[in-house]
Structures are given as structure tokens and as C-alpha cells.
A = this chain, B = another copy of it.
Amino acid sequence: MASSTVENYLKEILLVTMESNLSKVPMGQIARVLGVTPGTATSMAKNLERDGWVEYFPRLGVSLTRKGRKLAMNMLRRHRLLETFLVETLGLAWEEIHAEAEELEHAISEKVLEKLDEFLGRPRFDPHGDPIPSRGGVIPKLLSKPLSEFNENSRVRIESIIDQNKEFLRFARARKLLPGKEITILKLEEQADAMSLKVGRNEPFSMGLRSAEKILVLDAC
């Protein structure tokens, strides 16, 4: 059984690994993100290696073993499902949920997590739009990118809407912004932080780039 501390180390190692694309995460970086002294991180690295969670390469850093990665992914799943619950069900503010989930993720059992997942309708993205790993520890690899990253005259197909709030979903539905639909970007006005577009052959309209980030699309080849 891994302690909360171990769970935190592994989760942060995973996050840094995913963000940096490096195979080994240096101890200093781990110490920084976890808010401990470098010496503490080093001594922890040895314990983590002893227990089979990571491989430790002195002066270079640590990398997760298969076992460590599995647990770390599971922590990420817990964290993101809990964040979803806190926003969707209890209506907590966006900026509060991270710290709350950070605590709860160590206490919730696999069984309760499953029930929660079911209760929430098996969401695939958390309120920040980050993907929620599956039970098996797989992150749905997205080929799609936010609509906001495309240029004028792009033609793209909607893959998913990162369901943020009710109002937005209502607006999206009214404009036929639904998975499968084709979008043409007519004009891009970076200064005004907006784009104008049309969905299929419908009326053109405009939309803020902030909102366009919530719409994941694929190139309509």
C-alpha cells in the first residue's frame, strides 16, 4: 500500500514527465513542485526505488516503472474525476477545486470512484478540459486540437465539446456546434480575440477565442 506521500510523488513525477517529454525527472524539480527540500526528494527517491515505483539514476533523476506509472495514472484519474464532481455536482468555484481534490484523491476508494464515475456519466474531460485517464490508465490520446488554434479558411470537423457549463452547451446546441459537424473559419481577429465562422451551410456568426478553445476539432481532410 502506497502512502499519500508516495502517491503525490508519483503523480507529480508523471505530470512533469508528460509536460517535459524527458525520460528522467531531476530531483530538484520534484522538490520544487512538491514543496520539499532537495535532500528530502533524494531520500524519497531511494525509498521509491526500493519499493519498485521508480528507477533512480543518481544525479540524473527518476523515471516511473510500469507499476509506478499505473498508480500515478490512477491518481490522475481520481484527481480529475473529483474535480469534475466538485464543479458539476457541488458547484464549487473553478479555482478552489484543485486543492480540494488533492486531499480527497488519497481517501477515495476504487469502489466509490467507480460509483462517482457512473454518477457523473463517465466524463472524459475534467472542468479544466484535461482528459480523464480510463480505469486501465489510458489517456485518450487526442488527435484533435482546440478550434482556437486554426487559421482563417480552415475547414475542420468537430470532435468534442469540452462541456464546461450549461449556458455554453445551450449556445453550442443552438448554433449546431455538435460533434461531427463541419466548420469553416471565415475570419480571424486576434486583436479582438474573436473569429467568425459558419457551421455547415448555416448562418455565419462570431465567437470569442476563449470559447473556441472549448471546441476540439480535426482537420476536415
Contact assessment for A103 and B92 in the assembled complex, using a CB-CB cutoff below 8 Å? no
A32 to B115 alpha-carbon distance, docked (Å)? 33
A109-124 contacts to B (CB < 8 Å): 109, 111-112, 115-116, 119
Within the complex, which residue of B100, B107, B112 is in contact with A92, where a contact is CB–CB below 8 Å? B112
Question: C-beta contact mask, A65-89 vs B, less than 8 Å → 1, else 0?
Answer: 0000000000000000000001001
Q: Write the nearest CB–CB distance from A84 to chain B, whole angstroms.
A: 14
Contact assessment for B96 and A103 in the assembled complex, using a CB-CB cutoff below 8 Å? no
Highest count of chain B CB atoms <10 Å: which of A90, A109, A112: A112
State how many copies of this chain the complex holds.
2
User: A46 in the interface, Cβ–Cβ < 8 Å?
Assistant: no
Contact assessment for B107 and A103 in the assembled complex, using a CB-CB cutoff below 8 Å? yes
Residues in B neighbouring A112, C-beta threshold 8 A: 86, 90, 92, 100, 104
User: A145 in the interface, Cβ–Cβ < 8 Å?
Assistant: no
Contact assessment for B103 and A109 in the assembled complex, using a CB-CB cutoff below 8 Å? yes
Q: Write the nearest CB–CB distance from A116 to chain B, whole angstroms.
A: 6
A106 to B112 alpha-carbon distance, docked (Å)? 16
Question: In chain B, what residue has the closest Cβ to A4?
Answer: B107
User: A91 in the interface, Cβ–Cβ < 8 Å?
Assistant: yes
A112 to B86 alpha-carbon distance, docked (Å)? 8
Question: In chain B, what residue has the closest Cβ to A112?
Answer: B100
Q: Write the nearest CB–CB distance from A35 to chain B, whole angstroms.
A: 16
Question: In chain B, what residue has the closest Cβ to A109?
Answer: B100
For the complex of A and B, list the 9 residue pairs with the smallest distance between their C-beta atoms, beginning with the closest. Answer: A107-B107, A90-B115, A103-B107, A104-B107, A100-B112, A100-B109, A90-B119, A92-B115, A90-B116
A-B contact pairs, 22 of them (CB 8 A): A86-B112, A89-B119, A90-B112, A90-B115, A90-B119, A91-B115, A92-B111, A92-B112, A92-B115, A96-B111, A100-B109, A100-B111, A100-B112, A103-B107, A103-B108, A104-B104, A104-B107, A104-B108, A104-B112, A106-B107, A107-B107, A107-B108
